[in-house]
Amino acid sequence: MAVSDRGAGRLYTTRLYVFSGADLVAPELPEGLKPDKLLEGAERKDLPAEFSGAEYVEIPGIDETGPIGFLTLAKDFPLPRGWEKIPIRKCLPPMIAGERSGPANRLLRACHIMQWRRDSAFCGSCGGPNGDHPGELARQCPSCGRLEFPRISPAIIILIINEKGQALLAHNRNFVPGIYSLIAGFNEAGEDLESTIVREVREEVNIEVDNIRYIASQPWPFPNSLMLGFTARYKSGTLTPDGKEIEDAKWFNRNELPDLPGNGSVSRYLINLWLEGKL
């Protein structure tokens, strides 16, 4: 991994991403232009002088697709005229299962590593300032030598279908009002993914499922997840939201749907497969 000195002007990639918090910083889009046009980043030559003091980081791509460069601005950094912050979720095109090295995945990889570097500024063993390992995508403490690699937290997301062919959609209290999506949750230490699904479904909506089947996965760096998408069949129980995470949950037909998550997410990918009659 190559990391430049702040403001030193060392040049690597000709296109790069600029982040502020979990947002992508980009030139303001002309009216009608979709945010997915930003997936390949900004041209280095177009960056304003105000960004020159930001740390530049370059990481290897996956499958020899070439390096990925990014700048990280403070969350409250005042943007110059003509630049704006865009939530990364809004930049993502419809998900394509198995696409491992496209522009969307490069953006998600850069976002994940950017946040991990921010959160790993100090050694988790001795508390000293962390450095970068010269030959690997890792942090290494110069005091005690501890190595830290990017953290990835596996999480399941599950499309549940009942005997009528209806899909279970739920509104989480953290969602935008009116949006319904799928039941999801983090895998616990010592737990296989199938057990995670059974537990999360039982805890959040009080029903039992079976016929669990894996469908697709998606990197989801908000902040460090790998989403693993499954389907399952309703087995038994009375649908009852837990009232803590899930405020409402219902069975929906294909022709009567609430507002759904964006097309860039694996949740919408699973829902679309169901809508197309493929699940």
DSSP result, 152-195: -EEEEEEEEE-TTS-EEEEEETTSPTTB-B-EEEEPPTT--HHH
- In 3D space, the residue among 172, 173, 182 whose CA is nearest the CA of residue 265 turns out to be 182
85 and 114 fall within a common domain: yes
Burial 44-68 (b: 16+ CB within 10 A, else e): beebeeebeebbbbbbeeeeeeeeb
Residue 8 has pLDDT above 60, yes or no: no
pLDDT band at 258 (very low <50, low <70, confident <90, very high): very high
pLDDT at residue 72 in the model: 94
Half-sphere exposure in the Cβ direction for 71 (13 Å, CA): 29
Under 8 Å between Cβ of 264 and 108: no
Q: Which of 70, 100, 119 is the last residue of a domain?
A: 119
**Residues 212 and 260 grouped into a single domain:** yes
**108 and 9 in a common domain:** yes
CB-CB contact of 32 with 3 (8 Å)? no
Residues 196 and 229 in one domain: yes
Q: Are residues 27 and 99 in the same domain?
A: yes
Among 95-104, 128-137, 147-156, 171-180, the range scoring the smallest mean pLDDT is 95-104
**In CATH, what number is assigned to the domain containing residue 234?**
3.90.79.10
110-142 residue pLDDT tens:
999 999 999 999 999 999 999 999 889 999 999
Greater model confidence, 28 or 12: 28
The whole-angstrom separation of Cα 58 and Cα 36 is 22
Query: Is the domain of 144 the same as that of 50?
Result: no
Q: Give which of 94, 106, 81 is closest to 15, Cα–Cα.
A: 106
Judgement on whether residues 163 and 218 belong to the same structural domain of the protein: yes
Summarize pLDDT for 52-104 with one digit per residue, the tens: 889 899 999 887 778 999 999 988 899 999 999 999 988 888 887 666 668 89
Rounded mean pLDDT, 15-35: 84
107 and 135 both lie in a single domain: no
Determine what percent of the chain is predicted with pLDDT higher than 70.
92
What is the pLDDT of the chain when averaged over all its residues? 90
Can you give the pLDDT at residue 99?
A: 65
Q: Please check whether residues 36 and 112 belong to one and the same domain.
A: yes
Tokens of 255: 């022709």
Find the mean pLDDT for residues 196-206.
98
73 lies in the same domain as 179: no
- Residue, of 269 and 135, whose pLDDT is higher: 269
Q: Which of 125, 23, 24, 7 is nearest to 15 (CA)?
A: 24
Whether 189 and 88 map to the same domain: the answer is: no
For the stretch 117-125, contacts whose Cβ atoms lie closer than 8 Å and that sit 24 or more positions apart, written own/partner, are 117/57, 117/72, 118/72, 119/151, 119/223, 120/148, 123/148, 124/148
Q: Which amino acid is at 127?
A: G
> What confidence score (pLDDT) does residue 7 get?
36
Residue 225 pLDDT > 70:
yes
Average pLDDT over residues 147-153: 96
The closest alpha carbon to 182, from 232, 226, 225, belongs to: 232
Q: Is the same domain home to 42 and 112?
A: yes
> Residue 129 sits in which domain range?
121-151
pLDDT value of position 29:
79
Q: How many domains does the chain have?
A: 3
Total Cβ atoms within 10 A of residue 261: 19
